[in-house]
Every structure is written in C-alpha cells, then in structure tokens.
Amino acid sequence: MDTTEPQRLQKLLAAAGLGSRRAVEEWIRAGRVTVNGRVAELGLRATPADEVRVDGELVTLLSAEAAPRRLLLYNKPVGEVTTRNDPQGRPTVFTSLPPTPGRWISIGRLDIGTSGLLLFTTDGELAHRLMHPSSEIEREYRVTVRGTPPPAALERLRSGVMLHDGPARFDELTPENTGAPDASFRVILREGRNREVRRMWEAVGCEITRLSRIRYGPVELPKDLPAGQWRDIPIEVFAR
C-alpha cells in the first residue's frame, strides 16, 4: 500500500520531468490530463500510486521529494535529432542518455547538422527557466563558412539582420581563421530561435559548412568529452 502523502498534480508531473508546473497547469486546464480515468482539475492531489495519463499516455510518477534532480551535458554528434521519436527513423540524442527514474528534458535543441553542447535535466522548473527568453543566457558557437565573408556582411551580423520571425544579431562575432578556402568564427547570442545561427549567416549570403555549440551560459563543452558521450554536472551551476 502506498502511504505517500498526496501532492498537487502539477508538482508531481513537473517532478517527473514532463515540464514546468506552469506548463502542466495549462495541460490540466485544457483537459489533457486524467487521474484514474477522470479528467483532472486544477488543485487535484495525487500520489505515485494513481494512474495518471497525459494525452492518453501513462506517466510514471515519483514523489516530488524523491525525484532525482539531475543535469548533464551531452556532446551531440552531427546526424542525431533532438526529438524522442523520429518519424524518419533517424538516430535521436535520447537513446544515448543514461536511464533515470524521471524523464530527461532537453534544454533547447540543435538541428541534425549541428554538433556540440546539449544540456538535459530531470527538473522541469529548471528547464523552463533556462529556456525562457527572459533568461537571456549566452549561447556560444564555433562557425565555419565557405570562403571569406566581406567586412560588410560581418558588420550586418553584428548590427542586425531581418529574419522571417524578426530581427536578429550576434552580441559578439570574433574571427578565428579567415584564410581560404573556409573562414571560422566564434559567435555569441542570447536567444535560441529555430536554426537562428544558420539563418543569420544565410541572410548575408554565407554558407555554413560546420557549426558547433561550445557553451551554454556558464557551461562549456569539455575538450576531453567525445562525441556521443555525456557527463553529469552539478545542478547548482545554474543557481539563481
């Protein structure tokens, strides 16, 4: 018999790594969550012994106190997608992660052609905070482009280019190697729109041949971590 004290449903689902409490509350309002076969309402309490489903899928729950709070970094190789299940059957980053009683949440994404640093956590609140636009966390990338971009193109990237979803600019753009046939740069920006780095370079007529994320906030990609490998890091690194 489970004697766990009932807890608010949104707290349990966040502890399971499904999302932030705010996101879970929206799911409950939308009627997407059921408990023991009945549509849940805000304020409902439950225990890990209850049958809880989100969009019809059974959820494994832990008490919020027992759920492990983990943060790990992963060196994503080119060719993997940042989704749990890919309709095209392509390799997914989640198959390389260690098992956990909770659920791994990807903090942002990298497209299939981009390698480098990805962060994962079992803490839904932390994931929500780190991905929210108001966090303005620096993302740093190493970019290699074909040929040598003209100075005017680099100036546009620093001052701002217009994309279909609004203006964008690099907070920092530092040349590393500008010799032929390719040129490489380090760039920093504080938002994570879909394929934003690629689209910015395309907007000034440059073709990216290699793109890798090397830093996310205070976390840098370790030089000794091989592609396809992960490493636990202290969750306190993102202390408020």
pLDDT in tens, 191-219: 888 899 999 999 999 999 999 999 999 99
Token digits of residue 35: 């408990």
Counting every residue written for the chain, the total comes to 240
**Domains, the chain, with CATH or none:** 7-58 (3.10.290.10), 71-134+220-238 (3.30.2350.10), 138-216 (3.30.2350.10)
Of 45-49, 178-182, 194-198, the range with the highest mean pLDDT is 194-198
Backbone angles phi, psi at 9, to 5 degrees: -60, -40
Give the residue numbers annotated as catalytic, written as ranges. Answer: 111
The pairing of beta strand 38-39 with beta strand 33-35: antiparallel
- Check the CA dihedral 160-166-172-178 and report its sign: negative
Q: How far apart are CA 238 and CA 19, in angstroms?
A: 18
pLDDT at residue 1, as a whole number: 35
Does the structure show a pLDDT above 50 at 3?
no
* Alpha carbon 147 to its chain's center: 31
76 - beta bridge partners? 116
**Residue 133 in contact with residue 191, Cβ under 8 Å?**
yes
pLDDT in tens, 108-128: 899 999 999 999 998 888 888
% of the chain surpassing 90 pLDDT: 61
Identify the H or E element spanning 233. Answer: strand 230-233
Does the structure show a pLDDT above 90 at 131?
no
Mean pLDDT of the chain: 89
107 - beta bridge partners? 119
